[in-house]
Amino acid sequence: MANDCRFNTSLLHGTGSKGFSQREILPPVSQVTAFQYESMEDLEDVFAGRKMGFAYTRIGNPTIAAFEQKICALEDGAAAICTGSGMSAVSAALLTVCQSGDEIIAGSGLYGGTIRLLRNFEKLGIKTVFASRLDADHVRKLINERTRVVFGELIGNPSLSVLDVPGVSAVAHEHGIPLFVDSTTATPYLAKPLNLGADVVIHSTSKYINGNGNAIGGMIIDGARFPWNFEKHGALSEFSQFGRLAFTVRARAEISSNLGGCISPFNAFLSYVGIDTLGLRMERICENAAALASRLDEEKDVSVNYLTLPHHPDHAYVSSELNGYGGGIMTVRVGSKERAFKVINSLKYVKIASNLGDVRTLVIHPASTLYRRNSRQEAEAAGVFDDTIRISVGIENKEDLIDDFLNAIEKSRDERRN
Ligand code: PLP
C-alpha cells in the first residue's frame, strides 16, 4: 500500500509495514549471526550482489531491514541504513563523505557527544567549522573549497535552535555541498527534512523513535537526490558507478559495516514496534511540553527555553518548519547549579536520567553530565549553563507534571529562604 494516507495510518499500514515471509504482522526476530546456504556458489552470489540475501548480521539482517524500510518510508527516503546507535549513525554518515583535508560546517548547538566526535575527527585531518546559527547567511560565509558537508540538528539538543533547512540547503547546493540533518529531536512527526531540501537524515532511534527507553539504535536515511561530483567528493570516487546512490552504497558496504557498529536484531525489533505509536506519543508529548513551558514561564525566578513560547528566537519555525509543534524538550534556567540540583532532587514523579524521548518525563543537569567533557564555550553555545535543567517531556497527565515542577521550584525557594 502506498503512503498516501495520514501519518498514523501510514505508520501502521504504509509501505514500511507490509507482511513478512510467513505473513507475520510484525517482523520475526532473526536473532542470528549468520545465514546458511545450500552451496558455496549461492553464498558467492549473495556476496557479489547477484542474488538477494543475507550473509552476516553486521552487514544485513531481515529484522533490521524491516526497521530500515519502515523509517525510510516514514522519512520519504530512497534508502536507509540502520546502525547500533545514534553516534554510530552520525560518525558513519560523516565519514562516508569526508576524508583527510576535508571540512564540515556544523551548527554549534549540538548534542555534546556529537561536538566531541567532530573534535575527534580533527585528529584524522577532518576539520569542523562551527556556525553560531545554521541559516543561509551564516553558512554562506563559512563555505570554502574544502567544505564537503553541512551538518546540524533540526532542533538542537538542548539549545533548541532550529536549522533553516530550505535556506541552508539552497546555499549548500549552490556550492555542490549536501546538507545532512540529525532529526532525532524533531522526529518525522514534526518534519521530514528530505522534503524540505536536506539530502541525508540521521536519527538516534534510541529516543523518540523507540520511545520506550529499551533499545539504543541509529538510522541514516538517504534521499538519493544529491548529484555527487566525484572529483569534489573524493571520498565517494570509488562508488561513482552508483551515481546518486553512491553515498548509500559506500555507507552500507564500507563505512558502516567496517566501523562495525551494528544494531542487534532484537533491538531493531523493539524499535520497530515502538515507532507504531510515534504519532500518538508526539502529539501528547508536544501538548504536555507546551502546557508545562507556558506555566513555568509565568514564574518570575525561572527562565524557560521552549519553541512555542512567543519570546523564543526561533518561534517562527514552529509554523514554517515544525508542523505547528515545539517538540518534547525544553530547558529551564533557575539561577545556580545548587538550585538546579534542588529542583531536580525535589521532583516526585519525574525521573533523573540521561536520555530523552522516553514516554516518561526525564530531567538532567547537562553541564555536570552530558557536557562535562566539553569546553565552557562549547556548552554555552549549545545553551548549557551551570543553572540549566533539561526536561524531556513524556506522556503523563500534564496536570501532574505541572504540579510536580511547581512544587519542586517552590521547595527550592523555601530552602533558599531558610
Ligand atoms: N543526536 C542527538 C540529537 C542526540 O540527542 C543523541 C543522544 O542524546 C545522539 C545523536 C546520539 O545518540 P545515541 O545515544 O543513540 O548514540
CATH number for the domain harbouring residue 334: 3.90.1150.10
pLDDT of residue 1: 45
pTM of the shown model: 0.97
Instruction: Examine residue 54 and state whether it is found in any structural domain, yes or no.
Output: no
Instruction: Examine residue 184 and state whether it is found in any structural domain, yes or no.
Output: yes
Ligand 1 centroid to 214 CA: how many Å? 14
Q: State the total domains in the chain.
A: 2
Q: Are residues 102 and 251 in the same domain?
A: yes
Which residues are paired to 181 by β-bridges?
152, 201
- Determine which helix (DSSP H) or strand (DSSP E) holds 411, and give its type and residue range: helix 398-417
The domain in which residue 186 lies consists of 7-30+61-274
Instruction: Examine residue 44 and state whether it is found in any structural domain, yes or no.
Output: no
Q: Where does residue 187 rank: exposed (0-12), middle (13-18), buried (19+ CB within 10 A)? A: buried
pLDDT of residue 108: 87
Binding site membership of 204 for ligand 1 (Cβ less than 6 Å): yes
CATH number for the domain harbouring residue 109: 3.40.640.10
Atom of ligand 1 nearest to the CA of 205: 15
3-state secondary structure of 126: coil
Q: Are residues 353 and 234 in the same domain?
A: no
Residue in 186, 163, 180, 151 with CA at minimum distance from that of residue 329: 186
pLDDT of residue 184: 98
236 within 8 A of 247, measured Cβ to Cβ: yes
CA distance 204 to 210: 9
Binding site membership of 184 for ligand 1 (Cβ less than 6 Å): yes
Q: Are residues 204 and 333 in the same domain?
A: no
Binding site membership of 153 for ligand 1 (Cβ less than 6 Å): yes
Q: Are residues 151 and 130 in the same domain?
A: yes
326: CB partners within 8 A, 6+ apart? 286, 289, 290, 293, 306, 307, 308, 318
Sign of CA dihedral 312, 316, 319, 320: negative
Which of 274, 294, 312 delimits the end of a domain?
Answer: 274
Q: Are residues 141 and 256 in the same domain?
A: yes
Which of 226, 247, 274 delimits the end of a domain?
Answer: 274
Q: Are residues 179 and 246 in the same domain?
A: yes
Binding site membership of 87 for ligand 1 (Cβ less than 6 Å): yes
pLDDT of residue 20: 85
Q: Where does residue 231 rank: exposed (0-12), middle (13-18), buried (19+ CB within 10 A)? A: exposed
Instruction: Examine residue 216 and state whether it is found in any structural domain, yes or no.
Output: yes
Mutating to test ligand 1, I would choose from 153, 190, 206 the residue with most ligand atoms within 8 A of its C-beta, which is 206
Which of 245, 274, 303 delimits the end of a domain?
Answer: 274
Q: Are residues 199 and 78 in the same domain?
A: yes
Atom of ligand 1 nearest to the CA of 370: 8
DSSP 83: E
Ligand 1 centroid to 196 CA: how many Å? 22
Q: Are residues 260 and 291 in the same domain?
A: no
pLDDT of residue 17: 79
Q: Are residues 283 and 262 in the same domain?
A: no
Q: Are residues 249 and 298 in the same domain?
A: no
Binding site membership of 158 for ligand 1 (Cβ less than 6 Å): no
Ligand 1 centroid to 184 CA: how many Å? 7
Instruction: Examine residue 260 and state whether it is found in any structural domain, yes or no.
Output: yes
Instruction: Examine residue 341 and state whether it is found in any structural domain, yes or no.
Output: yes
How would DSSP label each residue in 4-31? Answer: -S-HHHHHHHSGGG---TT--SS-----
Instruction: Examine residue 35 and state whether it is found in any structural domain, yes or no.
Output: no
Binding site membership of 216 for ligand 1 (Cβ less than 6 Å): yes
- Chain-centroid distance, C-alpha 12: 22
pLDDT by position in tens, the chain (length 418): 455 789 999 999 987 777 788 889 999 999 999 999 999 999 999 999 899 999 999 999 999 999 999 999 999 999 999 999 999 999 999 999 999 999 999 998 899 999 999 999 999 999 999 999 999 999 999 999 999 999 999 999 999 999 999 999 999 999 999 999 999 999 999 999 999 999 999 999 999 999 999 999 999 999 999 999 999 999 999 999 999 999 999 999 999 999 999 999 999 999 999 999 999 999 999 999 999 999 999 999 999 999 999 999 999 999 999 999 999 999 999 999 999 999 999 999 999 999 999 999 999 999 999 999 999 999 999 999 999 999 999 999 999 999 999 999 999 997 667 6
| Longest distance between any two alpha carbons in the chain, whole Å | 79
Q: Are residues 265 and 342 in the same domain?
A: no
Binding site membership of 162 for ligand 1 (Cβ less than 6 Å): no
Q: Are residues 22 and 142 in the same domain?
A: yes
Ligand 1 centroid to 413 CA: how many Å? 34
- Going by alpha carbons, the residue nearest to atom 15 of ligand 1 is 86
pLDDT of residue 418: 65
Instruction: Examine residue 36 and state whether it is found in any structural domain, yes or no.
Output: no
Mutating to test ligand 1, I would choose from 204, 216, 370, 392 the residue with most ligand atoms within 8 A of its C-beta, which is 204
